[in-house]
Amino acid sequence: MPAVVEGAQQRPLMPVEEALQRLLALAESAPIGDTETVSLAEAEGRVLAVDLVAELDLPPWPNSAMDGYALRLADWHGDALPVSQRIFAGHAPPALQPGTCARIFTGAPLPAGADCVEMQENAEVLDDGRVRFLEPLRPEQNVRPQGQETRVGEQVMSAGTRLGPIELGLAATLGHARLEVVRRVRVAVLSTGDELVEPGLPLGPGQIYNSNRRLLASWLQRLGCEVVDVGIIADDLQRTRDCLAGLGDVDLILSTGGVSVGEADYLGIALREAGELALWKLAIKPGKPLTFGHYRGVPVIGLPGNPASTLVTFGLLTRPYLLRRQGVAKVEPLRFSVEAGFDWPKAGTRREYLRARIEDGRVRIYKNQSSGVLRSAAWAEGLVEVREGSTPQQGDRVWFIPLSELLG
């Protein structure tokens, strides 16, 4: 990817891939090493800390896939068989008596000696109670063999797996009541800006409501993080210093606003006094300025303050960083190509992430893509990626990243 030059200092912008690779390397250098053991009910959204190995075969014994009759095929010569037992799911049957069949129900263990199940629809019960089979029979038909899903000792999930309903269901299937997971990442969320007011309070002149605190706190909770909600820091150097100094034990300081090159960037000044901070200019739109640094050894990510910029830089860069710190291998969201239902005539020098939704199989973009317009994202179902220098037209294929991929 060639470097792109923009702005007064003519500094090359950092390509999105490079920013992501740097952040992932930084995440790998500061893994969350602590683990805890929690119940399955508490494990939703957490990251498995160890490989999960099967301690039993699944299924643990051969069982019937149908309601019907179990028999031993070698004993059967086309004649009707008497029924010697009835086997329900959850029962442990005695061995099959030679020359008989067993009435059996779905999920019930096969009796020793049986190797075939015929479904009841293909069987006729005669007046004397014997059963006649109407179709040719094959060995092992309608039998779920022992261990067909999993064998003892097999690795079923690897460390670094994110636990959602399906993974938790699988852990339950294997009999695990508790799982060892990575402890929650503690993230301090700071919103900087004299103009910010919390919702519920009256707005004064020149003020706006704080969008990012709620956006990020809710999103972080979805990602299994523990949020240390710091609230608003005024644009004042001493207050910013005091606030940072008062932060407890956190794994990441995540701020929005106040870290560009504006005059009120006190957070940047205060962070530099007690650590280091690099200002990255990213080839991304929205969201060009992003900072990464350390404050007293704690990693700091400073996101741009415009809400749509916060959303894009959190979703595409910070989310993967946080997941990788917990040992998650696959951190990039699924994306797929869709047909553009819009024209994008002006090639950009930054990679654009347009708030978009799919209608009638084509992707449409929100009319106002300004970085201050969070409503665009609420309307959207995903982000369309428009690469540097490209000008997609109606009917072209473009990459679409569903917001649901980023939010969970």
Selection from 261, 294, 260 nearest residue 276 by Cα: 294
Q: How many CB atoms lie within 10 A of CB 23?
A: 23
Rounded CA gap, 261 and 107, in Å? 67
- Decide: is 195 part of the binding site for ligand AMP (CB under 6 A): yes
Q: Does 306 bind ligand AMP (CB under 6 A)?
A: yes
As a whole number of angstroms, the distance between CA 143 and CA 151 comes to: 17
- At residue 398, the 3 state secondary structure works out as strand
Q: What is the DSSP letter of 93?
A: P
- To Mg ion, the closest distance from the beta carbon of 284 in angstroms equals 19
302 is an interface residue for Mg ion by CB under 5 A = no
Task: By CB under 6 A, name the one of 258, 299, 320, 327 that touches ligand AMP.
Answer: 258
User: CB-based burial of residue 367 (10 Å sphere; 0-12 exposed, 13-18 middle, 19+ buried)?
Assistant: exposed
212 contacts which partner out of ligand AMP, Mg ion, none, CB within 5 to 8 A by kind?
A: ligand AMP
Minimum Å distance from CB 264 to Mg ion?
Answer: 6
User: Which window, 13-21, 112-120, 180-188, 302-310, contacts ligand AMP (CB under 6 A)?
Assistant: 302-310
Closest by CA position to 179, among listed 167, 190, 189: 167
# residues near ligand AMP by CB under 6 A? 18
Q: Which of 109, 224, 257, 333 binds ligand AMP (CB under 6 A)?
A: 257
Partner whose footprint covers residue 240, from Mg ion, ligand AMP, none (CB < 5 to 8 Å by kind): none
Question: What is the footprint of Mg ion within residues 164-193 (CB under 5 A)?
Answer: 193
365 in Cβ contact with 354 (< 8 Å): yes
Q: How far apart are CA 366 and CA 362, in angstroms?
A: 13
| Distance in angstroms (rounded) separating the CA atoms of residues 19 and 317 | 8
Give the shortest CB-340-to-Mg ion separation in angstroms.
Answer: 35
Choose which of 68, 93, 160, 257 interacts with Mg ion (CB under 5 A).
257
The residues binding ligand AMP (CB under 6 A) are 191-193, 195-196, 208, 210-212, 256-258, 260, 262, 304-307
The residues binding Mg ion (CB under 5 A) are 193, 257-258
